[in-house]
């Protein structure tokens, strides 16, 4: 038996060894298996299932047909380094997905051997190389995803080789012009085309009118100029068109009325002019974005029966234009966004009366008092070059593409150059003598030398330092990751030490939040005017080497969210410090709503946006950070902005942002301060939403059921009870049931003053004074007729709680109800 056992053991070892040898590719493995293993190992990745000689047998990420590898999906596989030449041995491949890796360029010549390839994706890889000529040899491609891949230089004219393409994504690269319009226009099978984020500096291509099968076109932020091509009316299948944030001018062509399949049209942030197209109301466009242009004239009377209105459900943005006539009375609940126009009967605040005849919001483009010949001014460095009736402009430095001709002496060019030079001299002399008050110059001759938007004269606000990129690189160790202290919607945040030893927080814009120079400077102007003890101070900015950076005072103790999280670790924040922070935040928000010019709505009140300095003084942050990509646009009447748990539910319902939305967020934040819990916590089994968790417990069981257990008995029950009442009033569902931040300050501040007095007076005397102050402030609120009904309605569910507050804190049911929205102006869209 022992001998048999030994024999069986040896047999088992031999079988295991044979299995191991058989499982790895060897000389008997198929060429494709050998190529795949070499490709994976070159990229520093080995897949556990890639064993055996046949890749068509249970190899992950590999798809076969008829015993050949036809699909290879290596998306997000942790690949890094250049593309291995062995990839060219997979000649049966039809689909190759290499997206979301760290693959670098250039692409090897062997890629051109994949002549059966139909789909190729290099999406989100740092190739950082010119457009691959190897890809242009893959004539069977129907889908090429080459976006966010660090592609540099121009698009080759030979892109026309890829005649079978249906999807071509080249967006968010470092592509430069000129745009090969004829080549791209020859790809008549295209259904989706994106080129956004490049530096084309080319006219918007009329040749794209040949793309009759196109359904999706994204050309936003491409530095395109000129008028909207009439030929685009041939794109009868187009469903979504994004051409915003360019230098487009002129009118919307009437021929576009044939684009009856259009469902999203984004043409905002250009210099388009002319009247609102009458035909557009007959097309069921689901989203119409025409904001920040120079459209003029009256608006049509929008009615729910119109195809446009019926489809958009009021998702129409027309703000920051020059529409005039009487303020439109929409039958849509007033939700179409028309702020910042020239209507004659716009209700304005008293401080607006000193502004121009138009009700311009500060975030609108520069206001022009008149239009010359009915045309809006051209963008900087451009001049009108076409028929004045359509008002199209072109850059003064634009040079027509070179066309090679037969070699001969260029008599016409020499004579033309001499005449042109003489004409320019005469024009410059004439313009210098022309009175610009009577007529706007058709173009600025000096724009030939100063056409860069960065170079226009701008008075940097006093008290704000303009840093160089060299200063900030030195301060942050070249933006080293060890200096990184956070990230947000604007971009990453670093701490740095300046040459004078001062520590600052440096916010560098990400590619998705990058804005135009005018918008960025408007933001700096705004931030420079906001000064309050409880707002984070702007120290300076940097606008250098195409970077946009804001420099703030450094807040040593991080944010309130971190402090609340530490409460769970046993690090207790005292009750008085919590009251002090609550009052400080309220004072900062009251300043933004009531004293800033123009008033500012924060839009995202939450603990991580409340920073604490070395003395634990609370300061509101991120009240001026904006986003430029329209997909992230969060203007007052579009999609909700903010963070789950702090979002105003009425804003979610009605898409109308007011100061009351900030009040709601403050109410949730105040509850977090009191309870030490998070706004949304799925571990709370009774209710993960903090507001709904607090309401019944506070009503039925009192303060002890909600207050942070870490405080034990060491807190002022009267103060915390009243803080909870205020928090729940602020977090009311309806904005009409919320107080203003001014009311919140007037109600909480006396508690803080009373506690401060108690340090020098007896507890009894302090309590008496605090009660008198509290009663006095509430009487003033009631006497002013504001929010008396608000206080009553909000306290209905709290009346069973022993409040220990003076009788004057409660108001009668006969009190007048008033709207709690307060000032409804808003900050630059974020």
Residue 738 maps to a domain: yes
**Residue 607 within any structural domain of the chain:** no
Q: How far apart are CA 662 and CA 620, in angstroms?
A: 12
* Higher pLDDT pick, 411 / 815: 411
Summarize the confidence of residues 739-760 as an average pLDDT: 83
604 a catalytic residue: yes
Clarify whether residues 635 and 732 are in a common domain: yes
Query: Which CATH number belongs to the domain containing residue 481 in this structure?
Result: 3.30.200.20
Contact 730, 663 (CB under 8 A): yes
How far apart CA 537 and CA 597 sit, in angstroms, is 16
**Residue 632 in domain:** yes
Point out the domain boundary residue: 522, 553, 584.
553
Same domain, 632 and 681: yes
Spatial separation of the C-alpha atoms in residues 24 and 556, rounded to whole Å: 57
* 636 and 494 in a common domain: no
**Dihedral sign for Cα atoms in the order 403, 405, 407, 413:** negative
Q: Assess if residue 686 is contained within a domain.
A: yes
φ/ψ bin of 773: left (φ > 0), alpha (ψ from -120 to 50), beta (otherwise): alpha
Mean per-residue pLDDT, 380-407: 65
User: Are the CB atoms for 306 and 276 separated by under 8 Å?
Assistant: no
Backbone region of residue 642 per phi and psi (left: phi > 0; alpha: psi in -120 to 50; beta: other values):
left
Backbone φ and ψ of 272, nearest 5°? -70, 150
Residue-level pLDDT at 800 = 31
The pLDDT-based confidence of 341 (bands split at 50, 70, 90) is: confident
Q: Are residues 102 and 138 in the same domain?
A: yes
For residues 308 and 335, the answer to whether their CB atoms sit within 8 Å is no
Domain assignment present for residue 824? The answer is: no
Pick the last residue of a domain from 494, 519, 553.
553
Average pLDDT over every residue of 20-24: 42
Q: How confident is the model at residue 818 (pLDDT cuts 50, 70, 90)?
A: very low
Q: Mark whether 127 and 167 lie in a shared domain.
A: yes
**Pairwise CA distance, residues 695 & 692, whole Å:** 5
Domain boundary among 391, 425, 453: 453
Give the pLDDT of residue 513.
Answer: 58
Task: Please compute, for residue 256, the number of CA atoms within 13 A of its CA located in the half-sphere on the CB side.
Answer: 22
Instruction: Compute the average pLDDT of residues 776-792.
Output: 39
Q: Is residue 519 in some structural domain?
A: yes
Query: Do 504 and 641 lie in a common domain?
Result: no
Least confident of 149-163, 388-402, 478-492: 388-402
Sort strands 393-395 and 264-266 into parallel, antiparallel or unpaired.
Answer: unpaired
Domain total in the chain: 4
Q: Is pLDDT at 350 greater than 50 in this prediction?
A: no
Ranges 384-393, 548-557, 819-828, most confident: 548-557
**Residues annotated within a binding site for ATP:** 507
Assign 776 a pLDDT band (cuts: 50, 70, 90). Answer: very low
Q: How many CB atoms within 10 Å of residue 483?
A: 17
Residue 615 lies in a domain: no
The answer as to whether 745 is a domain residue is yes
3-state secondary structure of 792: helix
**∠698-701-703 over CA atoms, to 5°?**
50
Domain that holds residue 680: 628-809
List all residues 6 or more positions away from 448 whose beta carbon is below 8 Å from its beta carbon.
396, 397
Q: What is the pLDDT of residues 361-387, one digit of tens each?
A: 555 655 554 555 567 777 767 777 765
Least confident of 63-67, 793-797, 806-810: 806-810
Whether 448 and 515 map to the same domain: the answer is no
User: What pLDDT does 637 receive?
Assistant: 37
Look at residue 319 in the predicted model and tell me its pLDDT.
84
How many CA atoms lie less than 13 Å away from 11 in the CB half-sphere?
A: 6
The more confident residue out of 11 and 273 is 273
Structural contact between residues 337 and 636, judged by C-beta atoms closer than 8 angstroms = yes
End-to-end CA distance of the chain: 81
Q: Which residues are CB-contacts of 460 (< 8 A; sequence separation ≥ 6)?
A: 466, 524
Could you tell me how far CA 365 lies from the centroid of its own chain? 18
- CB 81: neighbour CB atoms within 10 A? 12
447 in the same domain as 488: no
Q: What local confidence, expressed as pLDDT, does residue 455 receive?
A: 41
CB 229 within 8 A of CB 181: no
Are residues 693 and 769 located together in one domain of the fold?
Answer: yes
- Structure confidence by residue, pLDDT tens digits, 664-673: 999 999 999 9
- 3 state SS of 428: helix
Q: What is the pLDDT of residue 187?
A: 98
Q: Are residues 505 and 650 in the same domain?
A: no
pLDDT computed for residue 565 by the predictor: 77
The neighbouring-strand residues paired with 511 are none
For residue 114, give the CATH number of its domain: 3.80.10.10
Res. 276: pLDDT tops 60: yes
| 547-553/610-612 β-pairing | unpaired
- Which CATH number covers residue 710? 1.10.510.10
Helix/strand/coil for 803? coil
Same domain, 512 and 659: no
Find out whether 734 and 650 touch, Cβ atoms under 8 Å: yes
Phi, psi of 182 (to 5 degrees): -65, -40
pTM across the whole model: 0.51
> Confidence band (pLDDT; 50, 70, 90) for 294?
confident
pLDDT value, residue 440: 33
Residue 533 and residue 442 share a domain: no
Beta-sheet strands, E only, within 95-219: 95-97, 102-104, 119-121, 129-130, 143-145, 151-153, 167-169, 174-175, 192-194, 216-218
Q: Which of 247, 590, 604, 662 is catalytic?
A: 604
How high is the pLDDT of residue 403?
43
Residue 717 pLDDT level (bands cut at 50, 70, 90): very high
HSE-CB at 335 with a 13 A cutoff on CA atoms is 18
Token pair for 705: 């059921």
Return mean pLDDT, the chain.
Answer: 77
Q: What are the b/e assignments for 252-286, b being 16+ CB within 10 Å? A: bbebbeebeebbbbbbbbbbbbbebbeebbebbbe
């Amino acid at each position: 038996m022992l001998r048999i056992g030994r024999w069986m053991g040896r047999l088992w070892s031999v079988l295991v060894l044979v299995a191991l040898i058989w499982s790895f590719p060897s000389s008997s493995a198929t060429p494709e298996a050998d190529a795949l293993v070499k490709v994976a190992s070159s990229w520093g990745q080995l897949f556990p299932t890639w064993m055996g000689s046949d890749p068509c047998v249970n190899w992950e990420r590999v798809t076969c047909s008829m015993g050949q590898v036809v699909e290879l999906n290596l998306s997000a596989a942790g690949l890094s380094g250049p593309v291995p030449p062995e990839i060219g041995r997979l000649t049966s491949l039809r689909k190759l997905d290499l997206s979301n890796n760290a693959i670098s360029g250039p692409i090897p010549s062997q890629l051109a051997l994949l002549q059966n390839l139909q789909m190729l994706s290099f999406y989100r890889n740092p190739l950082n190389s010119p457009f691959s000529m190897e890809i242009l040899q893959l004539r069977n491609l129907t889908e090429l995803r080459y976006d966010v891949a660090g592609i540099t230089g121009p698009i080759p004219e030979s892109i026309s080789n890829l005649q079978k393409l249906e999807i071509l994504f080249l967006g968010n690269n470092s592509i430069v012009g000129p745009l090969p319009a004829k080549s791209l226009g020859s790809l008549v099978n295209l259904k989706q085309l994106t080129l956004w984020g490049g530096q084309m500096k080319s006219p918007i291509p009329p040749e794209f009118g040949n793309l009759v099968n196109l359904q999706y076109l994204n050309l936003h932020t491409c530095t395109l100029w000129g008028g909207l091509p009439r030929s685009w009316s041939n794109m009868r299948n187009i469903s979504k068109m994004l051409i915003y944030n360019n230098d487009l001018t002129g009118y919307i062509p009437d021929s576009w009325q044939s684009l009856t399949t259009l469902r999203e049209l984004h043409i905002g942030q250009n210099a388009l002019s002319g009247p609102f197209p009458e035909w557009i109301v007959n097309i069921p466009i689901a989203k119409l974005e025409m904001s920040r242009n120079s459209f003029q004239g009256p608006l049509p009377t929008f009615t729910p029966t119109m195809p446009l209105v019926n489809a958009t459900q009021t998702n129409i943005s027309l703000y920051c234009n020059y529409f005039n006539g009487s303020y439109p009375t929409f039958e849509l609940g007033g939700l179409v966004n028309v702020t910042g126009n020239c209507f004659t009967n716009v209700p304005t605040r008293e401080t607006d009366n000193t502004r121009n005849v138009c009700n311009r919001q500060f975030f609108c483009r520069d206001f022009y008092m008149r239009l010359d010949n009915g045309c809006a001014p051209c963008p900087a460095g451009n001049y009108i070059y076409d028929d004045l009736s359509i008002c199209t402009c072109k850059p003064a430095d634009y040079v027509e593409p070179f066309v090679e001709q037969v070699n001969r002496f260029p008599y016409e060019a020499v004579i033309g150059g001499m005449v042109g030079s003489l004409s320019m001299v005469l024009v410059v002399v004439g313009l210098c003598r022309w009175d610009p008050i009577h007529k706007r110059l058709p173009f600025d001759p000096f724009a030939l030398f100063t056409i860069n938007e960065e170079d226009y004269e701008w008075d940097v606000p006093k008290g704000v330092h303009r840093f160089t990129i060299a200063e900030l690189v030195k301060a942050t160790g070249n933006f080293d990751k060890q200096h990184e202290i956070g990230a947000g919607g604007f971009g990453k945040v670093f701490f740095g030490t300046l040459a004078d030893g001062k520590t600052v927080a440096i916010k560098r814009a990400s590619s998705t939040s990058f804005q135009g120079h005018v918008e960025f400077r408007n933001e700096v102007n705004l931030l420079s005017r906001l000064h309050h003890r409880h707002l984070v101070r702007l120290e300076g900015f940097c606008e250098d080497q195409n970077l946009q950076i804001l420099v703030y005072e450094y807040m040593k103790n991080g944010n309130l969210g971190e402090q609340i999280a530490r409460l769970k670790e046993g690090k207790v924040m005292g009750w008085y410090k919590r009251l002090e922070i609550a009052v400080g935040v309220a004072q900062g928000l009251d300043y933004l709503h009531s004293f800033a010019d123009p008033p500012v709505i924060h839009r995202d009140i939450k603990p991580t946006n409340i920073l604490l300095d070395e003395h634990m003084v609370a300061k509101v942050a991120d009240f001026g950070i904006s986003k430029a990509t329209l997909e992230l646009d969060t203007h007052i009447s579009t999609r909700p902005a903010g963070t789950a748990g702090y979002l105003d539910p009425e804003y979610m319902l009605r898409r109308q942002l007011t100061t009351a939305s900030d009040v709601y967020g403050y109410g949730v934040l105040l509850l977090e301060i009191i309870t030490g819990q998070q706004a949304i916590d799925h571990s709370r089994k009774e209710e993960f939403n903090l507001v709904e968790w607090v309401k019944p417990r506070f009503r039925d069981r009192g303060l002890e059921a909600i207050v942070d257990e870490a405080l034990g008995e060491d807190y002022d029950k009267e103060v915390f009870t009243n803080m909870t009442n205020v928090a729940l009033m602020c977090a009311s569902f309806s904005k009409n049931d919320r107080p203003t931040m001014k009311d919140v300050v007037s109600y909480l501040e006396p508690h803080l003053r009373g506690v401060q007095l108690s340090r020098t007076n007896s507890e009894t005397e302090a309590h008496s004074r605090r009660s008198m102050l509290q009663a006095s402030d509430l009487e003033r609120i009631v006497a002013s007729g504001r929010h008396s009904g608000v206080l009553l309605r909000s306290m209905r569910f709290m009346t069973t709680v022993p409040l220990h507050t003076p009788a004057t804190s409660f108001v009668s049911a006969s009190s007048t109800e008033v709207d709690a929205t307060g000032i409804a102006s808003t900050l630059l869209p974020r």
